[in-house]
Chains A and B, each alone.
Chain A
Amino acid sequence: MNVWEVAAEVMIFALLPLAWTAMRGDPRLRLVSFFMTGVVITLLMMLLTMAFNRMPMMDLAIALALMSFGGGIVFARFFERHL
């Protein structure tokens, strides 16, 4: 087990409270938890790419970063108009 795997495994624990808060409570707080989850998973993708030494997997991190931007904007617009 290398240091990248250790860092990824520790960072995974950040997802537990985020998943909990994304599933319950005020919709605004849930949306913020969703944004934070996107950032944490992107960082996890970068760490796992290095942990498994598969550099093409960095494309997943790039795709996720770009997609969470689009998703965030869409959610914000939806929230603004309909909730």
Chain B
Amino acid sequence: MKTITIETLLALAVLITLASVLGMLRMRDPYQRLHYIAAPASLSAVFITIAIFLQQGLKPECFKAVFTTLALIGMNTVVTHAAARAFRIAETKNWKPKKGETVPIQRGDERVGDGRKEAA
């Protein structure tokens, strides 16, 4: 039972990572691509850590895996935000949205934050 659980967790971790990489490649916008880093940094790392604990038990060395996972989760959020902010500043010189600014996602998509839509 333990072996099956470990194999399932590892399979999930690998599948999530591969799916995230392939999904990231499908996106054309860097802001959209940044979202795909979250899944392997959080889910895959947690699954691998649980599998390590199942395999090794509560040994002190296994807590290094916990620390690695916490580092990945915590720091990925900071780096993702910093990168998105840097991209925005490189484009517009100021990362805060301008008054009445809309966010078109793709040509033909409904505009997010469109004042006329909100008024209607």
Contact = CB atoms under 8 A, between A and B. Distances in A.
A28 to B, nearest CB: 4
Contact of B17 (A33, A40, A61, A79): A40
B40 A4 contact: no
A13 B18 contact: yes
A76 B85 contact: yes
Nearest to B61: A55
Interface residues of A, number: 43
Contact of B24 (A10, A32, A42, A72): A32
Interface residues of B, number: 50
A17 B21 contact: yes
Dominant secondary structure of chain A at its interface with chain B: helix
A76 B86 contact: yes
Contacts of A43: 13, 17, 40, 44-45, 48
A77 B17 contact: no
Contacts, number: 134
B65 to A, nearest CB: 6
A59 B11 CA distance: 24
Given A29-B33, A65-B71, A65-B72, A14 B83 contact: no
Nearest to B81: A76
A65 B33 CA distance: 20
Given A7-B13, A61-B68, A80-B90, A36 B18 contact: no
The 4 closest A-B pairs by CB, nearest first: A69-B75, A72-B79, A80-B86, A55-B61
Given A58-B61, A61-B64, 10 more contacts: A7-B10, A11-B18, A32-B24, A33-B33, A39-B41, A46-B48, A47-B48, A55-B62, A65-B72, A73-B82
Interface of A: 3-4, 7, 10-11, 13-14, 17-18, 21, 26, 28-29, 31-33, 35-36, 39-40, 42-43, 46-47, 50, 55-56, 58-59, 61-62, 65-66, 68-69, 72-73, 75-77, 79-80, 83
